[in-house]
Structures are given as structure tokens and as C-alpha cells.
Structure 1
Amino acid sequence: MLYIPPAFRETDPATLHAVIRDARLAILVCAALDGAMPWVTHLPLMLDAEDGPLGTLHGHVAKANGHWQALVRASRALVIFTGPDAYVSPAHYASKREHGKVVPTWNYVAVHAECDAEIYHDAARLHAVVSRLTDQHEGARAEPWAVGDAPEPFIAGQLKGIVGVALRITALEGKRKLSQNRSAEDRAGVKTGLADSADGGDRDLARLME
């Protein structure tokens, strides 16, 4: 479970889906039934928002990665997506100048997706998901690379080394910690301070506060 104070809770599916789409890399977690530490894999995933009430995530993992076998046994998984984050200095708060009773914190955006997991080995389905993922991440390039640019026998060999993962979302939790619990003056100070930062992530978070 994700700890979410009411001020930071986000429930709008469109907003949560936007965080998922903007995340460049997801964290896939599932239980190890033998009592060992949970399995964790970092991987890009693609959201099909129309597949199921909350959408389905699609991706693949290496066949040598035992995580997929753990997913078969557990059948359930948690997927974590993170958005912009930023350190918040007490210097940003107007209340620091008033009474000094302030401490640092961290602002961030996160979405947790609870999913039913499906593992598959079908070559045509794997080819389709690899192609779609590639197109998604190559699309902004001036000369995008496509799976079809590589020799078909080579791609067929590569597909034998992966397994497909389809993760049907059953629950979504969203947290947008953007200083909503502070006064309007403190919140404005944080937004200005982050917007003026040299760090691009700080500026991205400041834009979310607008």
C-alpha cells in the first residue's frame, strides 16, 4: 500500500494514465512465494488505456530473468511509475521569515498500479509488442528506427530470448505531493524557487504546481 495523506491523493484516471505514459521506465514487483525478497525488474511499459476498466500495461522481459516465472506463480504484480520530484528547501517558504518553524521535504509524483499478470511466448504477439514499444520511443527522432529495419531472421532470433508480459490493471493509486498542505504563500514560494532552479526536474515539478 502507498501512504497517501488526503491532500496528496489523486484519483482521476486520466491524470494517472498521463503519469504512466510520461514515465520512461517502470518498476515491476511481485512476491517470491518461497519467502525470499520480492522480484523487481526495471522495464519500459506501454499503456493500452482502452483494454479493461483501468487499462493494460504491455512489455517484455528476458527469458533468462526468473521474474517471469515468479509472475506465473504469483499471478499478481505491482507496477510503480514515478514523475518529477524535487527537494524543497525551507528557504522557499514565506513562513520561514515569519516564524522559522519549517523543515525540508521532498515533493514528487508517483502512481502504483496493482495488476493481474499474464505471461506469453507467442512469437507474433511478441513481435507486435516489441514493434509498438519501439515505435513509441523512436517516434520523436528525426529518422526513427523500426523493427522492420533489421533482418527478419535476426529479429526472430531475438524474440526467442524474451517473454511477453501483459498486466491488466485492477487498481490505481496516485500521489501528487505538491505542497498542497502548505499555505498559499508557502506554495507560491516553492513554485517560484523550483521554477528558478538550474535543475530541469525541479522546473518540471514547478510546472505541475501551476
Structure 2
Amino acid sequence: MYVPPHFAVPDQNALFELIERHPLGILVTHSKGILDANHVPFELDRSKGDKGVLNCHVARKNPVWEEVANGDEVLVIFRAADAYISPNWYPSKHEFHKQVPTWNYFVVHAHGRITVRDDERYVRRNVAKLTHMQETSQPVPWKMGDAPRDFIDTMVKAIVALEIEITGLVGKSKLSQNKEVRDIQNPGEMLRAQGAIAMGEAMLAAAAAKSQ
């Protein structure tokens, strides 16, 4: 991924937080000359390895777990907010007419080595942790014990777990930081007014940081 210095996010904790807030990743694999991409929710374990470990599971019928070998290099892409930016939102455009459309976004690329974990105990633990992560904010959190044991047993046998040891994290936060403060602030206000709150607030924060 091309990352100009003004869009780079070197803070590993900030990248971890983005992954945890937006856990649906795109798992990109390469086997026999063919690229494949699967959309999978991940659980991040910050405590393992130098850069953390990503855990997920896929349907047994999904061929991805048979197409990869343990230790293969893979890429997982996590994306947060994004928004189109109109040139008309830049105050400088109305003075100099030298602006063009762009698209702002947050993204993290996690490079790593994959391990297939076709092991029932590991799969159960993986599913339980991922479920807890998503259910904890619910008024009455669902847990695996709420379903009949034989039903859960059948479901667990139908999936395979994947573990990815992260070897590299690359973050990009494109918020028009390469422009003057007014050309960051006004698009931020426009986005917020249109309901794109996350990106609007982020651009306003970037404008405030640049003005200091």
C-alpha cells in the first residue's frame, strides 16, 4: 500500500483499536497462482507475538483453509470510515480553482503467517471469544450455552479456525492532512452536517492538530 508520510499511522495501539472497532476483515490469500479474498470477522489477541495474533474461523466447505499451507504469508485488510470529498468544499477552490475530487478513508493492512487450526477445542475457544467480543454490549448477551449442546456440536464441526501471527502492520489515515487547515476543516464540517460523523469528526480533529 502506498502511504505518503503525512497519511501514515505509526502508532501500533491506534491500529489495534481500529481493528477492534472494525473486526470484519478481508483475508487475502495466494495459492497456485490465484488470489482469493474472504470477508471474515476477526478477534485480535494483542498479548501474543510482537505484533499480536488474529483469530477467525471459516466454513469447512470454504476451500480457503485447504488451499493455504501453515506458514504461508497472507494479508488482512481492515477498513473504517470513508467519504467522498468534493472540490467545492475547499475554500481555496473558490479563490484559485486548483482542487480536484478525492476520497478520504482509514485502513489497516495486517501482514502475517497463517496456521490452520482444525481442532475442536481451539475452534470452540475461538468462537466463544469472538462471540463474547460482539455480545458484551447487548442488554442480554447471547452465549454458546444458550443453544442446545448437540446443535453447537454440529455447528463447531462445520467450521475450521485460522490463526494469523501478525508480522507487519501498515496504517493509513487519509484526512486531507496535506492541505491547508481551512481545506481540512470545511470538508469536515460538510461531512458532519451530512451525517458522515466519524469521518467529519476525524477531519476536524486533523485540522485542529495542524493549526497548533
TM-score by shorter chain over 0.5: yes
Contact 1:25 1:45 (8 Å CA) reproduced: yes
Aligned counterpart, 2:25? 26
1:111 to 108, 114, 123: 108
1:160 aligns with 2:152: no
Aligned-CA RMSD value: 1.2
Q: Any unmatched runs of 5+ in structure 2?
A: 206-212
Q: Aligned partners of 2:76, 2:113: CA distance in 1, in Å?
A: 11
Contact 1:71 1:77 in 2 (8 A): no
Tell me what 2:198 maps to.
204
Mapped contact 1:114–1:171 kept (Cα < 8 A): yes
The equivalent residue for 1:126 is 123
Listed one character per residue, the Cα deviations across residues 50-87 of structure 1 (whole Å, up to 9, x for unaligned) are: 11111000110011111111222672210000010011
The answer (yes or no) to whether the contact 1:194–1:205 under 8 Å persists in 2 is yes
Who is 2:210 aligned against?
none
CA distance in 2 between partners of 1:122 and 1:102 (Å): 55
8 Å contact 2:29–2:74 — kept in the other structure?
yes
* Structure 2 residue matching 1:140: 3-state secondary structure: coil
Q: Deviations over 1:141-189 (max 9, x none)?
A: 1111111111112111111111111111000010000010111111111
> Which amino acid in structure 1 is aligned with residue 74 of structure 2?
A
Matches of 2:37 and 2:70, distance apart in 1: 15
CA-to-aligned-CA distance 1:25-56 (integer Å, 9 cap, x gap): 110011022x23x1211010000011111100
Tell me the equivalent position of 1:43. Answer: 40
Number of aligned residue pairs: give it. Answer: 204
Q: What is the distance in 2 between the residues matched to 1:208 and 1:119?
A: 37
| Mapped contact 1:39–1:70 kept (Cα < 8 A) | no
1:58 to 55, 59, 68: 55
- Residue aligned with 1:169, SS: strand
Which AA in structure 1 matches 2:178? N
Identity across matched positions, percent: 37
Normalising by structure 1, what TM-score? Answer: 0.93
Unaligned segments of structure 1, at least 5 residues: none
Q: Structure 2: which amino acid aligns with 1:16? A: L
> Which residue among 98, 107, 119 is the counterpart of 1:101?
98
Establish whether residue 193 from structure 1 lines up as the match of residue 187 from structure 2. Answer: no
On the 8 A contact 2:20/2:44 being kept in 1, the answer is yes
- Provide runs of 4+ in structure 1 moved above 6 Å: none
Do the aligned residues in 1 keep the contact of 2:188 with 2:202 (CA within 8 Å)? no
Work out whether residues 87 and 101 of structure 2, in 8 Å CA contact, stay in contact via their aligned partners in 1: yes
Q: Counterpart of 1:13?
A: 12
TM-score (norm 2): 0.93
